[in-house]
Amino acid sequence: MPMARLAWGGVLTVMPGRVVGTLTGRPATRSQVGVLRVLGTRHLLQGGLELARPTRGALRAGAVVDLLHASTCAGAVALLPGWRRVALVDGTGAVAFATGGLARARGRRTDGA
């Protein structure tokens, strides 16, 4: 999971306009590019943390962050037509990352394992 997160974070950081264009068929707005770069940076940091310190607590905290992100995506799907498709894809990914993080946390016997 951390490697998938790092890859996704890299794509969002380096090619946000291409992601938006692929998902919407329209050029990305300046705000979309900025938001996706910030999100990509968050994924890179979180993926690095998951690799460096994959403790039960860190994985659970990461899952909480992912679920909070998924909830903001749900709001964007409902309220922001220009973001709808991007938010749907990203929110689905956030739920998948949260699920993976919780599954990895469950497999940890102690916080140091």
pLDDT in tens, the chain (113 residues): 899 999 999 999 999 999 999 999 999 999 999 999 999 999 999 999 999 999 999 999 999 999 999 999 999 999 998 889 989 999 999 999 999 999 999 987 655 54
Q: How far apart are CA 11 and CA 23, in angstroms?
A: 13
Helix (H) or strand (E) holding 30: helix 30-52
Note whether 91 and 77 are within 8 A (CB).
Answer: yes
Residue 66 φ then ψ, to 5°? -65, -40
